[in-house]
Chains A and B, each alone.
Chain A
Amino acid sequence: MERSVTNMPAATLAAKNLIIPGASADEIENLVAALKRMDLRTDAGLKPITISLLGNVTTNYLADYIRLMMVRQGYAATIKVGEYGGLISGLLEGGELTSTSCDAAIVLLSYRDIQHPPPVGASASHARELVGLETDFWVSLLKRIAVPAAVLSFDLPPWRVLDEQDGLSPGGLGWHVKMSNLEIAARMPATISLVDAEALQARLGSVQWYDERLYHMCKQPYAMESLTEISHTLVAALMGLLGRSRKALVLDLDNTLWGGVIGDDGLSGIALGSETAEGEAFVAFQRYAKSLMSRGVILAVCSKNIDATARSPFREHSAMVLKEEDISCFVANFGDKAQNIRRIAKDLNIGLDSLVFVDDNPVERALIRAELPEVLVVELPEDPALYVRALDSAKAFPMRLLTQEDLGRAASYKAMTAVREAASGSTTDMAQFLSDLQPNVHVEKVDRTSVDRIVQLLKKTNQFKLNLSTFQEADILSAAGHVFALKLADRLQDYGIVAIAVTNPAGDTLEILNWVMSCRVFSRRLEYAMTELLCEHARSLGCRTLRGMYSPTEKNVIMPDILEKLGFSLEAPGIYHRPADSRVEEKHFMTIVDRRNQAS
């Protein structure tokens, strides 16, 4: 029998480094038990967070697992377990989740909570009406949640009164569940991530998902064996909402993107393509990586190879799905991989905690886990046929809504690298380079169509960020006239909305409540254009001064220097101000197009 981890700091450390998927059930159970006895808030390495957990089931066991998964993400979670049966009351006026007494919430729905089940023999139109009633009921409740929330959708019942038709035809309870899930998903605000219970149930298998005996004993429907996957899934969704999704996938090459070693086996010797089962598996993995790229994940290569050799399959092998231009940062040399991964993070201008590393070699994986614990290292199985599943089930890239910016991100990271190269040259080169790009700044209309991106950017940005204040959709929409959302486009590409300033006029001062800019457009001088716009806005309101509150975090240390360059000066600790009538010194070469008054 495996001994439990009773040494306290060792348990937190083990929890932080827990490999999911990969760790054994015993290992996880022991950690859950060990953490249960600990007060995590005394651990300075963990960020405190309070999460409300609500469902019409016993959530105590799940709470312990969620606590473990949160430690794994660097949080000391205090989990407020709602009363059994308190789901609906928690969502009603004055309920637990309608105030901000917690930082985040997890809500569990189930087919048992269905309010308008179709009676046997219901006509198709009646069944549709019932889905409408169901959806209206839950959407109106869920919309009251005042904090970011992961909401588990309805699961499918473990029995089917109408047999195969139960889930396929109007009138079946299964059909009602599926349709209601789709309708509810379509109507969720951006602050709620609906977690697909049907997909979770399918991954676990209905036997694991639903343990009748346990439900009758203690009102927990899920088998204990399922708690790892359930908590992992819910916490991943929450991480997506909290802007903690990872950004880049760092790929090894030999035996990761193709079978064999390019330096030894040569172009014709590596396994890649539909001729062999192994070759097909690598093609499938590349396809998956390419799809991730299309939805906004940046790809990088980190390989122990001679650069030209490493690039040769990308250039010459017909079965390569990934092309050289798909890789935003390509590092091939015989140096230490930890060193190279640090360099990739630096080149892409993102933190190590935004990286996911995939390598078939267990020694390299162990090295990175030890040297760079911030990097998520995926545990790859031996068989390349299982690579896709391994990466997918690591849930490293949770997302809520796909934005235009996500779709164009990979290309813009490539462009960013080019800009940085130019920026490292002389200043006249830089000016020439920037004006050659013919940049246009669009001051976007702040409305329903842009608000998701605005909220997302305010949340996800770490470096160019004044302070940690975040805003809900409603905050942004109600202050729309004082919110600046800048979109950058140049002759190479459209970056989408990449800078936001939320302001508030107060007497003769225009307060900058927060100001963020995506790291993809650093060195483009967009902050100068924003300063100009803010000054103009201030003057139009009769304000003489711009004022912003800077609160330092680990990541936004660049701000004081930038603010000074923009003409701000320190008034009191953390408070920066700037006269609204003085000119912005540096040229930004941008054409400013105001689109706020255009019909959308």
Chain B
Amino acid sequence: MSDASREEILAKLEDIFRSVFADDRIVLTEGTTAADVTGWDSLQQIKIILACEKKLGIRLRARDINALENVGEMITHLQTALAKTSRKQ
């Protein structure tokens, strides 16, 4: 998991988005922002974060969460969190 590439994380994020928004047609790219996905507001953002934590086996800090405004930033953040988790193990 520690070496998860950006593409791998992107694919997982896409799965998570499709599930949270109940929409299998969602396609994510690194440049996707909240404006591109119908219903992606701050409340859904928390659901996405919680789903990431569950699916990737990581724990994010509350203050980092609001900073994640687009998919690219999320991937960077998740990559760091994954690296930290694997160092601890």
Interface membership of B35, Cβ < 8 A: no
The digit string for B35-59, where 1 denotes a CB below 8 A from any CB of A, is: 0000100110011001000010000
In Å, the complex CA distance between A120 and B50 comes to 38
Q: Given A213-B62, A217-B65, A218-B42, check contact A4 B19 (CB 8 Å).
A: yes
Interface membership of B22, Cβ < 8 A: yes
**Nearest opposing residue in chain A for B25, CB measure:** A6
Q: Which residues of A contact B20 (CB under 8 A)?
A: 33
In Å, the complex CA distance between A58 and B41 comes to 14
Which of B21, B22, B39, B65 has the most CB atoms of chain A within a 10 A radius of its CB?
Answer: B22
Interface residues on A, range: 20 to 34
Nearest CB of chain A from residue B64's CB, rounded to whole Å: 11
Q: Which residues of B contact A34 (CB under 8 A)?
A: 22
Q: Which residues of B contact A11 (CB under 8 A)?
A: 22
Interface membership of B73, Cβ < 8 A: no
Interface size on B, residues (CB 8 A): 17
Q: Which residues of A contact B46 (CB under 8 A)?
A: 214, 217-218
Q: Which residues of A contact B22 (CB under 8 A)?
A: 4-6, 11, 30, 33-34, 36-37
B19 and A60 contacting across the interface, CB-CB below 8 Å: no
Interface membership of A363, Cβ < 8 A: no
Q: Given A213-B62, A217-B65, check contact A1 B19 (CB 8 Å).
A: yes
The digit string for B6-47, where 1 denotes a CB below 8 A from any CB of A, is: 000000000100111111100000000000000100110011
Q: Which residues of B contact A36 (CB under 8 A)?
A: 22, 39
**Nearest opposing residue in chain B for A3, CB measure:** B24
Main SS at interface, chain A? helix
Q: Which residues of B contact A4 (CB under 8 A)?
A: 18-19, 22-24
Interface membership of A385, Cβ < 8 A: no
Q: Which residues of B contact A5 (CB under 8 A)?
A: 22
In Å, the complex CA distance between A3 and B20 comes to 11
Nearest CB of chain B from residue A10's CB, rounded to whole Å: 12
A6 and B43 contacting across the interface, CB-CB below 8 Å: no
Interface membership of A61, Cβ < 8 A: yes
Q: Given A58-B43, A224-B50, check contact A6 B24 (CB 8 Å).
A: yes
The digit string for A28-64, where 1 denotes a CB below 8 A from any CB of B, is: 0110011011000000000000000000001011000
Q: Which residues of B contact A214 (CB under 8 A)?
A: 46
The digit string for A236-270, where 1 denotes a CB below 8 A from any CB of B, is: 00000000000000000000000000000000000
Nearest CB of chain B from residue A520's CB, rounded to whole Å: 45
A61 and B43 contacting across the interface, CB-CB below 8 Å: yes
Q: Which residues of B contact A37 (CB under 8 A)?
A: 21-23, 39
**Nearest opposing residue in chain B for A60, CB measure:** B43
A1 and B15 contacting across the interface, CB-CB below 8 Å: yes
**Nearest opposing residue in chain B for A61, CB measure:** B43
In Å, the complex CA distance between A218 and B47 comes to 11
In Å, the complex CA distance between A36 and B21 comes to 8
Q: Which residues of B contact A33 (CB under 8 A)?
A: 19-22
Say which residue of B15, B19, B42, B65 sits within 8 Å of A30 (CB atoms): B19
Interface membership of A491, Cβ < 8 A: no
Q: Which residues of A contact B65 (CB under 8 A)?
A: 217
The digit string for A130-174, where 1 denotes a CB below 8 A from any CB of B, is: 000000000000000000000000000000000000000000000
In Å, the complex CA distance between A213 and B43 comes to 14
Interface of chain A residues 1 through 22 with chain B (CB within 8 A): 1-6, 11
In Å, the complex CA distance between A218 and B46 comes to 8
What are 14 A-B residue pairs whose CB atoms fall within 8 Å in the complex? A1-B15, A4-B19, A4-B22, A6-B22, A11-B22, A30-B22, A33-B21, A36-B39, A37-B21, A37-B23, A58-B43, A214-B46, A218-B42, A218-B43
* A-binding residues in B (CB < 8 A): 15, 18-24, 39, 42-43, 46-47, 50, 55, 62, 65
Q: 15 other contacts beyond A37-B21, A224-B47, with CB at 8 A cut-off?
A: A4-B23, A6-B24, A11-B22, A29-B19, A33-B21, A33-B22, A34-B22, A36-B39, A60-B43, A61-B43, A213-B62, A216-B62, A218-B42, A218-B43, A218-B46
